Amino acid sequence: MNSRTHAPRSPWKIILAMAFVVACWGYSPTGIHIGLQAYDPGHLALLRFLMASVFMAVVAAFKGIRLPRPRDLPWLVALGFFAVSLHHVVLNIGQQHVTAGASSVLAQSTPLFSTLLARFVFKDRVSFWRWGCIVSGMIGVVIVVAGDHGLGGLDVYGLLILLAAVSWSFYFALQKHHSTRYDGLTLVCYTVWSGTALLLIYLPGLASEVVSAPVHVQWAVLALGIFPSALAYLAWAFVLAHVDLSRATMTLYLIPPTAMAIAAYALGEQPTLMVGVGALVILISVLALNMERRATVTASGPVRP
């Protein structure tokens, strides 16, 4: 039975869950910047998701999850690769030279890459409206990159943030095509665990960095492992169980301004006017893209009664 047929939750609980997700994922760029003060990108990703894996194991022990079918193992490993290992390693490398605010904006370009992926990999039809959204969104990306440190000064680091967004696009596409096989909690657990297993190649040298890292960095990384990497996913699953996806995703547009506010307070970052303009262009493009998709779904009617 679909969870939306259950007794409705009170609106304030859903709103609090949405606000919690935005706050957690808005903190992530700042937490990464602090973590990179003592950890290299690979070690930071591994430590973050080792903690998330332990946390998810405790949740799974109480809630119970399905065992994976052997034929699904390659798919679950692919989810972990794109959602955890590739995404977070390249994101960490990129954020060594990209501000937290600009990074959060570039990461929100994922829906643009998801549309390109749908067209060129899954051969879906892409309307003229969507192509317009993609072009305007990419213009916003260029503005953000130029406004952060300049096109020449960023070298490949801004592109690595975009690669992280592309990696998330592959994750969303795979999840969309196979999500009916497992419930949300089971899927999140196996994604986190498989991605963490792939990150174990960075295990050598991690212990020495843990021992030598300052206390404020340890707290920041602990927060990364518990809040954005674990609790936020559970809260998001709760939101999606009670709110339509197109409505729920609208709240994610609050992540970049939240990330910029947290970075301004914790890191002293002051985003430039160009970064703000580019952020606005990207978010409007993604919003327009999702509004067109929502209108299409509404016009065609629900898939199932």
Q: What are 127-154's pLDDT values in tens digits?
A: 788 788 888 888 887 787 777 665 554 4
CB 192 within 8 A of CB 52: yes
3 is a domain residue: no
User: What is the pLDDT confidence band of residue 300, given thresholds at 50, 70 and 90?
Assistant: very low
- Which residue type sits at 257? P
Give the range of the structural domain holding residue 181, as residue numbers without chain letter.
10-297
Per-residue pLDDT tens for 56-112? 999 999 988 989 999 999 999 999 999 999 999 999 999 988 888 888 878 777 777
Q: Would you state the pLDDT for residue 113?
A: 77
- Please give the angle made by the CA atoms of 230, 235 and 239, to the nearest 5 degrees: 150
Q: Would you state the pLDDT for residue 115?
A: 74
Per-residue pLDDT tens for 22-65? 899 999 999 999 999 999 999 999 999 999 999 999 999 998 89
Q: Would you state the pLDDT for residue 2?
A: 43
Q: Would you state the pLDDT for residue 199?
A: 97
Q: Would you state the pLDDT for residue 38?
A: 96
Round to whole Å and give the CA distance between 98 and 160: 10
Instruction: Determine how many CB atoms are found less than 10 A away from the CB of residue 154.
Output: 19
305 is a domain residue: no
More confident call, 32 vs 285: 32
Q: Would you state the pLDDT for residue 298?
A: 38
279 is a domain residue: yes
User: What is the pLDDT confidence band of residue 275, given thresholds at 50, 70 and 90?
Assistant: confident
Least confident of 41-50, 121-130, 154-163, 257-266: 121-130
Least confident of 16-25, 83-92, 169-178, 295-304: 295-304
Angstrom CA distances, 206 to 194, 198, 225, 232, 243, stand at 19, 15, 15, 25, 40
Round to whole Å and give the CA distance between 143 and 139: 6
Number of domains observed in the structure of the chain: 1
76 is a domain residue: yes
CB 53 within 8 A of CB 192: yes
220 is a domain residue: yes
Give kind and range of the element (H or E) at residue 138. Answer: helix 128-148
Round to whole Å and give the CA distance between 285 and 301: 25
Q: Would you state the pLDDT for residue 227?
A: 94
Share of the chain above pLDDT 90, in %: 39
Residues 6+ apart with CB under 8 A from 280: 140
Cα Rg for the chain, rounded, in angstroms?
Answer: 19
92 is a domain residue: yes
179 is a domain residue: yes
Q: Would you state the pLDDT for residue 233?
A: 79
More confident call, 300 vs 72: 72
303 is a domain residue: no
Judge if pTM exceeds 0.95: no
pLDDT exceeds 70 at position 6 = no
Per-residue pLDDT tens for 189-217? 999 999 999 999 999 999 999 999 999 99
Q: Please report which residue ranges of the chain form alpha helices under DSSP H.
A: 11-35, 41-63, 73-80, 86-94, 100-107, 110-120, 128-148, 151-154, 157-178, 184-199, 206-212, 215-226, 232-242, 245-250, 255-266, 273-300
